[in-house]
Amino acid sequence: MPTAESPVTLNGSYGEGGGALLKTALCMSALTQKPLQIHSIRGATRKPGISPEDFAVLQALGKSTNADLEEVDIGSETLTFTPKNLPRRIHFSHDIPRSGSGRSPGNTLVVAQTLAPILARTGAISTLALHGETHNNNTLTFDEFELATAPAHAAQGIGIYPSIHQAGFGFAGRGQIHIEVEPSAFEPLHWSQRGGVISAGARITACDTHSQFIADAVTASLKLLTEAGYGDQVDQIEMNGSEPGLCVTFWIKFERGYGSTSACLNRGGKPSEVVTRAWDQFTTFTQTTATVDPYLADQLLLPACLADGSTTYSTSNITRRLKTMAWVIKQFTPIAITIKGTEGTPGTITINK
């Protein structure tokens, strides 16, 4: 384990070898005040180097900790980050896609999710105003963040209040979100068993989409929910935005646990196909006994390591990303993180303190 003066040196292609490794390392450097040196950033991905999302996190944490940064830009494959003070509150505004060259992707919720637990430790209110994607396939959407991520963090004692001002659908979407993060005292989770269903539902978010497409998505979602015994709560939201789009989100709250899944309409696709994709992911989770979905399992990990006490929760799929994040955290602090289960199968995460 490095001393406080020596940097933690990481290979950015280790394990998942993508953005989760880099962002977790930056957060841990900020929290522990240990300098970070990382090479081969995103080395296991098709596009190595710092992404616009990574750059946004780097700028925010740099501002919060008054960090020394060697000259670095989007595409850089090495980085040295030296925080000068513990994280302090910030009021941070950033246009993620425009920080890159050309038409660059950048998910606002990934950036917000990364920063929120760190800013919650500053003892004062912080705000984030982020421009970029808000709804896209295979990544965190605003609806998932609002319906599952923020409530799950609230169970950890973290106060996060999101709002959306403009939708940004698809690759390099031009949306805008605002996040307020309150000073928080982190609490451990005891979520080994999910208990009963408290509530469940669906949300249909659309922008500049034919009314019949929206109606079809609402009808199909309602049918699936009621047939599965989850009730009839289907919310319909129409947003302003620069790109047309439609997103279907299913969510569920247990006595001890949360889950959500989203799917967005592809060009030339049908609303029924979007509903089916989101529902198939949803049932893959709900048909297990897991307390959180695989993406939420990642999001809960670092705050659980900061809580005063031991945490246990289970997930329907142990991902390489989760295992990589746990490895990174342990490079900075000798914490006991146990992931029981093999990659690609259900498992349990325990943090002992």
**Whether residue 75 is found in the same domain as residue 1:** yes
Q: pLDDT grade, residue 70 (50/70/90)? A: confident
Take residue 115 and report the two structure tokens written for it. Answer: 């920063």
CB contact at 8 A, 238 and 207: yes
Q: Is 65 domain-assigned?
A: yes
Report the CATH number that the domain containing residue 205 is assigned in CATH: 3.30.360.20
Q: Is 200 domain-assigned?
A: yes
**Whether residue 211 is found in the same domain as residue 282:** yes
**Whether residue 332 is found in the same domain as residue 255:** no
Span 19-63, pLDDT tens digits? 999 999 999 999 999 999 999 999 999 999 999 999 999 999 999
3-state secondary structure of 174: coil
Q: Is 153 domain-assigned?
A: no
Buried b (16+ CB within 10 A) or exposed e, 121-132: bbeeebebebbb
The per-residue pLDDT for 267 is 82
The per-residue pLDDT for 266 is 87
pLDDT at 157 over 70: yes
The DSSP symbol for 112 reads H
Helical (H) or strand (E) element with 118? helix 108-119
Q: pLDDT grade, residue 153 (50/70/90)? A: very high
CB contact at 8 A, 81 and 63: no
Average pLDDT over all residues of the chain: 95
**Beta-bridge mates of residue 262:** 249
Q: Is 135 domain-assigned?
A: no
The per-residue pLDDT for 103 is 62
Domain boundary among 286, 313, 343: 286
Cα→Cα distances 3→8, 79, 82, 97, 347, Å = 9, 19, 14, 37, 33
| DSSP secondary structure string for all residues of 265-302 | PPTT--HHHHHHHHHHHHHHHHTS--SB-HHHHHHHHH
CB contact at 8 A, 106 and 112: no
98 vs 190: CA distance, rounded Å = 41
3-state secondary structure of 33: coil
Buried b (16+ CB within 10 A) or exposed e, 254-280: bebbbbbbbbbbeeeeebeebbebbbe
Percent of the chain with pLDDT over 90: 93
pLDDT at 1 over 60: no
The per-residue pLDDT for 71 is 83
50 vs 88: CA distance, rounded Å = 24
Q: Is 80 domain-assigned?
A: yes
**Whether residue 249 is found in the same domain as residue 316:** no
**Whether residue 37 is found in the same domain as residue 74:** yes
Span 318-349, pLDDT tens digits? 999 999 999 999 999 999 999 999 999 999 99
The per-residue pLDDT for 158 is 98
Strand segments, DSSP code E, in the chain are 8-11, 36-39, 68-69, 78-82, 91-95, 126-132, 160-166, 175-181, 190-191, 197-207, 234-238, 245-254, 257-264, 311-315, 336-340, 347-352
Average pLDDT over residues 270-292: 97
**Whether residue 236 is found in the same domain as residue 300:** no
**Whether residue 195 is found in the same domain as residue 280:** yes
**Whether residue 1 is found in the same domain as residue 71:** yes
pLDDT at 98 over 70: yes
Domain boundary among 257, 286, 315: 286
**Whether residue 305 is found in the same domain as residue 271:** no
pLDDT at 4 over 80: no
Domain boundary among 232, 261, 286: 286
Q: pLDDT grade, residue 11 (50/70/90)? A: very high
What's phi and psi for 86, nearest 5 deg? Answer: -60, 155
pLDDT at 290 over 50: yes
Average pLDDT over residues 119-134: 98
Q: Is 158 domain-assigned?
A: no
Which residues are CB-contacts of 280 (< 8 A; sequence separation ≥ 6)?
A: none
Average pLDDT over residues 176-200: 98
Q: Is 146 domain-assigned?
A: no
The per-residue pLDDT for 138 is 94
**Whether residue 248 is found in the same domain as residue 297:** no
Q: pLDDT grade, residue 2 (50/70/90)? A: very low
**Whether residue 279 is found in the same domain as residue 307:** no
18 vs 350: CA distance, rounded Å = 24
pLDDT at 100 over 90: no
| Structural domain boundaries enclosing 234 | 191-286
Q: Is 208 domain-assigned?
A: yes
Region class of 297: left (phi > 0), else alpha (psi between -120 and 50), else beta = alpha
**Whether residue 11 is found in the same domain as residue 41:** yes
CB contact at 8 A, 293 and 316: yes
For the chain, what is the domain count? Answer: 3
The per-residue pLDDT for 172 is 87
Span 221-272, pLDDT tens digits? 999 999 999 999 999 999 999 999 999 999 999 999 999 999 999 888 899 9
Report the CATH number that the domain containing residue 26 is assigned in CATH: 3.30.110
Average pLDDT over residues 128-143: 97
Number of other residues whose CB lies within 10 A of the CB of residue 84: 10
